[in-house]
Amino acid sequence: MAVVKNRNNVVLHTKVDGVLYGNFKLREFENAEGLAMVHPTLLEGLERTRRDLGAYYGKTVYVIITSAVRTEQDNERLAKQLGWTEDGGLVSRGSYHLNRFGGIAVDLIAKEAETGRVVAQKTVGKICRRYFDWVKDDYADGHVHVDNRFRGQQ
């Protein structure tokens, strides 16, 4: 399959406390085939997290999406690498990343813009807990999982 350049190269805007933010592009949420879904509550939570991390450190901090929406096939491929949770692995058969949930979950890391230094996983998790229904911040590779499993259903 040929990769289309600049697909989903759309800036996503949302208002947070009356201020318009646009720090994420749709392509950051796409899978390998270009499917992208972002629930409005997810985007708002990500913008709030980015803002609060910046305030905490007194400098610009980027929130980097490492995994977003998945199809069932994506989930199967990932499980072949990382295993299913019921077998001690890291991938859930009912993952909130699945497209049937409407773009309510991402995995992320955060980095200081100036230095590229990765922000501590527990710090990111602590701030994410303000804005997301579910946060898991104990993965060995340092990423944080967030989802709006309740807000996303409203």
**Domains of the chain, start order:** 38-153 (3.30.1380.10)
What does DSSP assign to residue 54?
A: H
Please count the other Cβ atoms lying within 10 Å of the Cβ belonging to residue 152: 19
pLDDT at 8 over 90: no
Question: How many residues are present in the chain?
Answer: 154
Among residues of the chain, what percentage have pLDDT more than 90?
89
Residue 5 pLDDT greater than 90, yes or no: no
Type of residue numbered 128: C
Residue 42 confidence (pLDDT) above 90: yes
Pick the closest to residue 32 from 10, 3, 11, 9 (CA basis): 3
- pLDDT of res. 137: 98
* CA 56 – CA 136 distance, rounded (Å): 20
Instruction: Find the range with the poorest average confidence among 4-18, 22-36, 76-90, 93-107.
Output: 4-18
Element (DSSP H or E) covering residue 134:
strand 134-136
Report yes or no on whether pTM surpasses 0.95. Answer: no
Burial letters 125-139, b for 16+ CB under 10 A, else e: bebbeebbbebebee
pLDDT value at residue 99: 96
Please report which residue ranges of the chain form alpha helices under DSSP H: 40-57, 72-82, 121-128
| Mean pLDDT for the stretch of residues 108-128 | 98
Mean pLDDT, rounded, of the chain: 94
Confidence at residue 154, expressed as pLDDT on a 0 to 100 scale: 66
pLDDT exceeds cutoff 70 at 4: no
Which sign, positive or negative, has the C-alpha torsion 36, 39, 41, 42? negative
